[in-house]
Amino acid sequence: MKKIITDFFGQLKIGRKQSFKNLTVYPIISDYHVAFDYFTLDEALDNQSIEILEVDREGSVPDLKVVNKSAKMVLIIDGEELVGAKQNRIVNTTVLVPKNSTIVIPVSCVEQGRWSYKSPVFSTEDRIMSSNLRAMKSQQVNDSVREHGKFRSNQGELWEEISEKAQRHNAVSSSMAMSEIYEKEKPVLREYIDSFKKNDCQIGAVFMINGNIAGMDCFGKAETFASVFKKLIGSYALDAIDWFKGDNEFKELKSKATNFLKNASQAKIETHKSVGEGIDCRLETKKITGFTLCHEDQFPHMSVFNKSDKEKSNSRMQQFSRRRHF
């Protein structure tokens, strides 16, 4: 597995940077293309080939049932938000749902104050959990799968972070729904999203906030990246808004992006049977955390993040107080 991942990183190219305010994006360019076919979650929901439900009438906070009625696999991406049923959830790791199958997937709650049916099934919204929360969850899942063999987050810590973020954005709702933060910041998020354009042959990107690496997402097809491009920009932009330090011209950004990919390629790898098809590979060093899903020796999705910085976390309130001046 190590050689497969190293070879994958070796053929990635970094494109010309794009920046808006304090968010910088370096495109990852490649002709890489997985040989197998699948629907994305949005495609599968749009053509009604998939249903996502509570595991039973009573429900279970960390689990959801996925029914794939299609002859194609379905790719559900880490951090995608599922809305409805008894409470909104996000997906704990990327899952490739087998064709014509029913499986249970690991999720986390992002709506602490509701446990009652809003709808019988889940739908999706055009958003992915913010990058910092995904990084935190990635580390938690890495620890959980290593120690217990389960793709679990620390639900209490996620609720605490969502609550603090909601308070900073004056987006506290009766159910403490993460979605309220996105709704509150929709006009500013739209400015960020509209300021970035995807390139031809782009399969991913390295994202930087205030000149520092936040993370990267990379996909097995340019078409898949294109389908989630705006969701990903929104995910990283929400943290850029949160930690705004000004739209300065940060230096040596490309070398940081190059070194980040190099470090990710050298990460320790732990492999586990995926929830769906393939192998879930957990990536970790002292500085980064992440994962990639591997199916038939190919990678439909990879995420790598800088590990959370406690000092940065403690300074978010001051940074947020300044960001309204931009």
Q: Would residue 118 count as lying in a domain?
A: no
Once rounded to an integer, what is the mean pLDDT over residues 129-156?
A: 96
Is residue 68, in this structure, part of any structural domain at all?
Answer: no
In whole angstroms, give the CA distance from residue 274 to residue 94.
Answer: 9
* Tens of pLDDT, residues 13-26: 999 999 999 999 99
CA distances from 257 to 28, 204, 216, 284 (A): 10, 13, 9, 17
* Average pLDDT value for the chain: 92
3-state secondary structure of 145: helix
DSSP 33-51: --SS-EEEHHHHHHTT-EE
Residue 293 within any structural domain of the chain: yes
Q: Give the structural domain span for 269.
A: 2-37+130-323
Say whether pLDDT at 49 is over 50. yes
Number of neighbours of residue 111 by Cβ within 10 angstroms: 22
pLDDT in tens, 268-322: 999 999 999 999 999 999 999 999 999 999 999 999 999 865 434 444 444 444 4
Question: What pLDDT does residue 307 have?
Answer: 86
Residue 73 lies in a domain: no
- Residue 61 counted as domain residue: no
Is residue 297 situated within a structural domain?
Answer: yes
Residues in the chain: 326
In a domain, 204, yes or no: yes
**Tally of domains in the chain:** 1
> pTM of this prediction?
0.92
- Looking at the predicted structure, is the pLDDT value of residue 224 above 80? yes
DSSP of 64-110, one letter per residue?
EEEEE-SSSEEEE-TTEEEEETTS-EEESS-EEEPTTEEEEEEEEES
**Does residue 166 form part of some domain?**
yes
In terms of pLDDT, which residue wins out, 187 or 248? 187
